[in-house]
């Protein structure tokens, strides 16, 4: 499976994703400059964390209108996978590839800490290797991660089972105290209707080695890779 990691001016998790994909998962990976539109050689595009364009205006607003992001709908229509983490999630929402928006944390401060995530849907390419209700541990690091959408959108998200991760306690209780940023219904990650685009605020690339605290982030990649190994071909679900 060939991965591409997008680099915007101001992106900083690009090297970390690249490292995990090449050194830990041993998969082919290349960087994609934000001005590039050619994604034909790739199976999965990663939108990493950082402060693309300084997050000036709104987090992800400028990057959401960049050439590489404009090329994503066609890539997804061909069946390509897109994973946006942290700033990548914000960009996907700004670009309209995922519903909802990410607002300033309720505490009004940046938060960097480990969180627990309850898996809410295992019928996506990113979570098919997981158990429903399984609790994953990953770090967050953001100032604007409070997920919000209107009531109609929320109803649609639920109907389509697009909510993939919720902030929870270590034993999987979705509580107010377990919500680090005030997200609506503790939502930490959502997928597109067809399931090919995942956005989440936590950093799976920071949870890929035991010596750094957790390997739960690898489960997302293993799910994704398992899909392709099983089907043998690109993009059949």
Partner 1 sequence: MTGSEPKATLGLARELGLTADEYDQIIQRLGREPTYTELGLFAALWSEHCGYKHSRLLLARLPTGGPRVLQGPGENAGALDIGDGWAVVFKIESHNHPSYIEPFQGAATGVGGILRDVFTMGARPIALLDSLRFGDPAEPETRRLIEGVVAGISWYGNCFGCPTVGGEIAFAPEYARNPLVNVMCVGLVRADRILRARADGVGNPVFYVGNKTGRDGLHGATMASAAFDEHAQERRPTVQVGDPFTEKLLLEACLEAMATGAIVGAQDMGAAGLACCAAEMPARAGTGMELDLARVPQREREMSPYEILLSESQERMLLVVARGREEEVRRIFAKWELDAVEVGRVTDDGLLTVRRDGEVVARVPVRALTEAPRYRKPMAPPADLAERRRFDPLALPPPEDCGEALVALLAAPTIASKAWAYSQYDQQVGLNTLVLPGSDAAVLRVKGTRRALAVATDGNGRLVFLDPRRGAAMAVCEAARNVACAGGRPIGVTDCLNFGSPERPEILWQLAEAVEGIAEACRALELPVVGGNVSLYNETSGEAILPTPIVGVVGLLEDASRLATQWFKGEGHRVALLGPEAVSLGGSEYLWTFHRRLAGALAPLDLALERRVQAAVQAAIEAGLALSAHDCAEGGLAVAVAEACMTGPEPVGATITLPPGEARADLALFGEGPSRVVVSVSPGRALAFEALMAESAVPWRWLGVTGGERLVIRCGGATLVDVAVDRLHQAWRTGFERHLA
- Return the closest-CA partner of residue 81 out of 163, 189, 199, 160: 199
- Torsion region of 235: left, alpha or beta (phi above 0 gives left; psi -120 to 50 gives alpha): left
Task: Give the sign of the dihedral formed by CA 7, CA 11, CA 17, CA 23.
Answer: positive
Kindly name the residue from 86, 93, 120, 142 that is annotated as catalytic: 86
Q: How many residues bind partner 1 (CB under 8 A)?
A: 30
- A 10 A CB-CB count for 212 gives 12
Decide: helix, strand or coil at residue 88. helix
> Which residue in 51, 89, 167, 221 binds partner 1 (CB under 8 A)?
51
Instruction: Indicate which residue of 94, 120, 144, 205 is catalytic.
Output: 205
Longest pairwise C-alpha distance within the chain: 46
Q: Using CB under 8 A, which residues numbered 181 to 210 contact partner 1?
A: 203, 205-206, 208-209
Considering only residues 110 to 169 of the shown chain, the ones binding partner 1 according to CB under 8 A are: 110-113, 139, 141, 143
Does position 20 interact with partner 1 (CB under 8 A)? The reply is: yes
Residues in contact with partner 1 by CB under 8 A are: 9-10, 12-13, 15-16, 19-20, 49-51, 53-56, 109-113, 139, 141, 143, 203, 205-206, 208-209, 211-212
**Catalytic positions, written as ranges:** 86, 203, 205
């Amino acid at each position: 499976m060939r991965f591409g990691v997008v680099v915007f001016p101001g992106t900083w998790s690009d090297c970390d994703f690249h490292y995990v994909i090449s050194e830990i998962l041993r998969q082919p990976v290349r960087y994609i400059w934000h001005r590039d539109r050619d994604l034909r050689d790739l199976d999965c595009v990663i939108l990493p964390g950082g402060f693309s364009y300084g997050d000036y205006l709104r987090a992800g607003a400028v990057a959401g209108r960049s050439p590489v992001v404009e090329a994503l709908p066609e890539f997804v229509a061909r069946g390509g996978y897109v994973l946006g983490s942290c700033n990548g999630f914000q960009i996907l929402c700004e670009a309209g590839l995922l519903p909802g928006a990410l607002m300033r944390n309720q505490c009004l401060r940046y938060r960097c800490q480990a969180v627990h995530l309850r898996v809410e849907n295992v019928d996506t390419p990113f979570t098919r290797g997981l158990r429903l209700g399984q609790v994953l541990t990953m770090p967050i690091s953001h100032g604007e991660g409070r997920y919000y959408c209107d009531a109609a959108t929320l109803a649609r998200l639920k109907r389509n089972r697009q909510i993939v991760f919720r902030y929870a306690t270590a034993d999987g209780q979705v509580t107010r105290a377990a919500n680090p940023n005030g997200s609506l219904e503790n939502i930490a990650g959502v997928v597109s209707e067809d399931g090919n685009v995942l956005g989440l605020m936590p950093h799976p690339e920071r949870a890929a080695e035991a010596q750094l605290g957790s390997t739960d982030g690898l489960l997302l990649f293993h799910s994704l890779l398992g899909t392709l190994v099983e089907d043998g071909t690109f993009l059949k679900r």
